[in-house]
Structure 1
């Protein structure tokens, strides 16, 4: 295998026109330069220089290796520039996983800020509903994912950053007997038929846990995995429901929304990010933008 460092020494000799001039430019002794060229000729198995008067000129093989040495030097310089841009957050690519209700509330405003501060960074977004995006982060298929209260708080190489607590609200038909109350005890809904709006998983668990703490299990008569559809079922009088505030941004005109207490169900939303990705300015910028969006 040819030694790249020796190829650069050969290039210096060819461009300088002599071993002595190359040695002066490189800060070597002439004998050290001659030794490097001789060792490269041994590796190549062919003469690379020939004497012409007081100087030297490359053979065909010498010109070939000199041209490749120049390309290598150019590629290394480009790689160093690209690496510096990546480290500074001027370029790069981020793989992001998110769930539907976090899209408009958190992801969209965060990306506006990220693109303003890191315009050269490409962001690839993928909706994770209804799957669990944590394995994608853990196995380096994604740099960051938005998740809801994972039961496993520790994943190898993954940091969980708390963004916000999203409280659930009671959703009732507009003419419901409880609609006149501003705040409902959760037990007020114990004997009601329920419209489910969550698939099994971390978004349904806060509802079931809160109902269990209040001493009952909800009677789901309609199942839906979409907040807009669930609101339509509630508006039609098929039942009541609990839905997170972030899922109620587009409210059906024929439902009323009331705060719930004793207890108030809450889903905790986190950003799951690869520990190694925290060295990237763009990832840190996105985390800060998500925190800002969550605070608003």
Structure 2
């Protein structure tokens, strides 16, 4: 029994056993965590991972408050600075955003859309505080305008449905569009 206990302690010390709690936004769970969990189960069966769904701007404070061990998050306004010593950052991937336009939109036949060309359109987007809201606002600011956000939802299915009802245009993370019903819209890279 002593040998077994020593082996278990060695596994914990080596990081191949134990429990890790991870907070991540839904797309991050699908793109990063789920594949990693499958690989981890094969390579380190002694490691148990507990996943909590949390928006990108909520997960980092959860790490700082020691509610979770790891956060899969997006960069957002108000996030701790890159040189904040309380955190270690590891870039996992870069998420492209695509323009979602009503089928009858004047730019629907374009292969690619410039954000600046959408300046006069009504916009549909996430609520302030959602990191994707910041992406939309910053993309529009870099293109020289402030978006006229007429409709808001943090659910990208609702955003796409509103665009399909000709209520406006949107920028949506490409991964959020995978497997989604795209009735009444066209999706174009920006």
Do both share a fold (TM > 0.5)? yes
Structure whose alpha-carbon radius of gyration is higher: 1
CA RMSD of aligned residues (A): 2.0
Other-structure match for 2:185: 255
What does 1:41-56 align with in structure 2 at a 5 Å threshold? Answer: none
TM-score by length of structure 1 reads 0.58
Matches within 5 A, 1:111-122: 111-122=37-48
2:153 is aligned to: 224
* Aligned match of 1:43: none
**1:73-222 equivalence runs, <5 A:** 79-129=5-55, 131-150=57-76, 151=79, 152-222=81-151
Question: Separation in 1 of the partners of 2:103 and 2:49?
Answer: 42
2:160 and 2:120 mapped to 1: Cα distance? 19
Cα deviation, residue 247, structure 1: 1.4
In the TM superposition, what is the alpha-carbon distance from 1:198 to its structure 2 partner?
4.9
1:99 deviates by 0.3
Unaligned runs of 5+ in 2: none
| 1:131 CA drift (Å) | 4.9
> TM-score w.r.t. structure 2 length?
0.88
Contact residue 197 and residue 241 of structure 1 kept, 8 A: no
After TM superposition, the structure 1 = structure 2 runs for residues 239-254 of structure 1, keeping only pairs within 5 Å, are 239-251=168-180, 252-254=182-184
* Paired residues of 1:173 and 1:237 also in contact (CA < 8 A): yes
